[in-house]
Chains A and B, each alone.
Chain A
């Protein structure tokens, strides 16, 4: 028996609905149909009044969730694809994100964003949007890379009194499995050393953690020991763990699947340079997706995002600096 990443998300929601009467799910096709990715399969049957199908109205979905949250509920909104959250951007960034600072009343909503690419998904069903929401004040951005983190971080997100944008990676949904969910949770805001090493640090998150580990495995055959740090959430960003890693290795590659202009990798490099410049033995490097829309064809798609090959290449560059 094994648990997939999507199973973990399903289980977390099922348990939350069972444990708390104030939790409800809202999204397109999430009722009887069980959601585009089956993250809510069977949940409407089990909790008929708290699993609601929404119209195709991302702005109103989040507005509704904000209203419910300030009235004592804890909504979980499922965006069918992270890409469509652009329609809800205003309600997320300008309404939910500003609410506590302006009024003193927190907005405990969790917005699930199925993000990242899968082959053949194209420009509008593949995007990484964590940077957009992390940029705005008042929004927590969780980016789980493991099955256990998907489960624990989702449960923790719903318990948190502030808006959480929960970026779940579609590529991991069914591919990523574990024998069982780890019983102990690492809290949100704490990064994890996924793979220890001493020659260079790769700081990454979400599905890129696995690509980084693959790249590190390849370089291990040549004697390089690459440390991989999984941020787990990009906001809060656990700089302590990152700096401690860079202190050990002296070299930093910030890796992400998002577009290259600005973003999480730029933030990581900027903070490390500002606070740990003396720890660096070489200029820090970044590797991101290409600066084009995400292509449809699997061959183009695979070359658009970082791969074990391109990560190895970038690490070789870093190790030779």
Chain B
């Protein structure tokens, strides 16, 4: 139960190199998409707010890419575009939801990061932090009751702010009691909206809480792609192989405002210039090039392809039909004949 330090990244086998390549590619796609979403917001084209995961891509993508898209469960939060893409969410679902398309997964009934496809094991978050922990626990318990839990991992993400909620505490405690194959990523990104972490909790390190919950704790420099991938992948496999819930705390700095409406002027420049403020994407690219895993040309090509894919997803969503208030059935019940 002791917090584990990061193992040295293993890049020797082909499988690991493939995982690293895919994760970096996902990070590039995510950054490209989010940069476009920011532009659209500033141009007044987005319905509602835009919430980015800039600086958190390595941590989030490491989880999304370490999960099995065919059987695992992934409940992302506000800053997990990279994890979503890594877990196979098509870009069009993001653009359709942000642009309020009637054809998106939420059909204009919910927006921005509040999206998912529960049938594909991607629950749609609500805004109330920490609530996804128990929901993922329930999805795993259902599989256990049906005899279908074998080899399945359920994962969710929160930030340091969410760890202050009762819902997070209740959920993680429940998961620990049930010894579920679960991974909870905690992005300790220094701020919950504008509130610094010292006004959020008094413990020295959030990973210390793992012992209290009776779960395995891991911590990682979340600006370091290879380290993230190594630790998160290992935590996922530990959960998969019967190790019970795993809590992974990633140290980083949110490199954007809470949303695009927020200029984050409350962030001290010393913090931005510190090691926490390192951009995981820039550093990740440097890491993979130095290790000979990806060439600069390939990265340029991935960037171009990402821009094309994002442009296509935006263009499609922009020409989609809007939700029609005259055609919405305005029913919150699925049961026919049940009215208010």
- A residues neighboring B (CB under 8 Å): 24, 49-50, 54-55, 57-73, 75, 87, 90-91, 94-95, 97-106, 137-138, 140, 160-162, 188-189, 235-237
Contact = CB atoms under 8 A, between A and B. Distances in A.
B139 A70 contact: yes
9 contacts: A57-B134, A57-B173, A59-B170, A61-B134, A67-B139, A68-B139, A70-B123, A90-B131, A99-B118
A64 to B, nearest CB: 4
Contact of A189 (B107, B118, B119, B337): B337
B72 to A, nearest CB: 13
Interface of B: 105-107, 109-110, 114, 116-119, 123-124, 126-128, 131-143, 145-146, 166-167, 170-171, 173-174, 177, 331-335, 337-340
A233 to B, nearest CB: 9
Contacts of A138: 332-333
Contacts of B170: 55, 57-60, 63
A71 B139 contact: yes
Contact of B340 (A63, A71, A106, A236): A236
B145 A73 contact: yes
Given A24-B145, A63-B171, A162 B338 contact: yes
A74 to B, nearest CB: 10
A97 B201 CA distance: 31
Contacts of A49: 145
B167 A59 contact: yes
A274 B138 CA distance: 43
B124 A102 contact: yes
A65 B177 CA distance: 16
Contacts of A61: 134, 174
Given A55-B173, A236-B339, A73 B334 contact: no
Contacts of A103: 105-106, 116-118, 124
Contact of B142 (A68, A101, A160, A237): A68
Given A63-B131, A63-B170, 7 more contacts: A55-B173, A62-B134, A63-B135, A64-B138, A67-B136, A71-B138, A189-B338
Nearest to A102: B110
B126 A63 contact: no
A72 B116 CA distance: 17
A23 B140 CA distance: 15
B333 A162 contact: yes
Contacts of A100: 332-334
Contacts of A102: 106, 109-110, 114, 124
B143 A90 contact: no
Contact of A73 (B106, B142, B340): B142
A140 B135 contact: no
A101 B117 CA distance: 13
Contacts of B118: 70, 99, 103, 105
Q: Name which of A100, A102, A137, A161 has the most chain B CB atoms within 10 A of its CB.
A: A102
Contacts of A24: 145
Contacts of A235: 340
Contact of A160 (B132, B335, B339): B335
Contacts of A57: 134, 170-171, 173-174
